[in-house]
Amino acid sequence: MDKRSGLGCLFEVVETLVLTLVIFFVIQTFVAQPYQVQQNSMERTLEPGQYVLVDKLTPRWDTYGRGDVVVFNPPATWTDDPTPFIKRVIGLPGDTVEVKDDGLVYINDVALDEPYTFANDGINEPTTASLDQRRWVVTDGELFVMGDHRLKSADSRVFGPIKTTDVIGRAFLRYWPISTIAIIQTPSYPELPAAP
């Protein structure tokens, strides 16, 4: 092998590495990004230490829907910690969300059926004891989000609706540990009228 062919081989390796890094950067920035669950607020749907894949592409043309699990930057006025949160979308623009004494969540005066919420011994505990506010109106450009484990979740009940511009993307696949791999299902809410 002469010096010229050695330099050509080295150039091809460098070119391949640079191209790989560019593709990785584009995919992670615009298409999908891995995220590690760090809080207990989504138990049993998602456990701490699990990894999910976050879809950043489809929200560019498709709005977030009720029941979507989203990763977002928490409001800067509420925390200095930049670690993203992961919660479920409960209220959409135009909704009035109310959490009543029985712990049930009402959207426009209709109680939600939420089988995904964490229950102790099969009973959902009331979650309103420490709430300063129990009723919110979600405006355009906002989402009302809550954790599935309501007793361990700092969410919109504490810091109010979040801006859609703070949402990183929609979690759609739990992929690690490999034994927990599954598509993250978006529930339906037949008790509510279809969104316009």
Q: Is 179 designated active site?
A: no
Q: Which residue in 3, 56, 87, 156 is the catalytic one?
A: 87
Q: Is 153 designated active site?
A: no
Cα dihedral 86→50→148→120 (10° resolution): -150
Q: How would you class 9 by CB atoms within 10 Å of its CB: exposed for 0-12, middle for 13-18, buried for 19 or more?
A: exposed
Q: How far is CA 195 from CA 8, 16, 65, 134, in A?
A: 59, 47, 9, 23
What count of Cα atoms within 13 Å lies in the side-chain half-sphere of residue 150? 23
Q: Which residue in 41, 56, 153, 156 is the catalytic one?
A: 41
Query: Position 180: which residue type?
Result: T
Catalytic site residues?
A: 41, 87
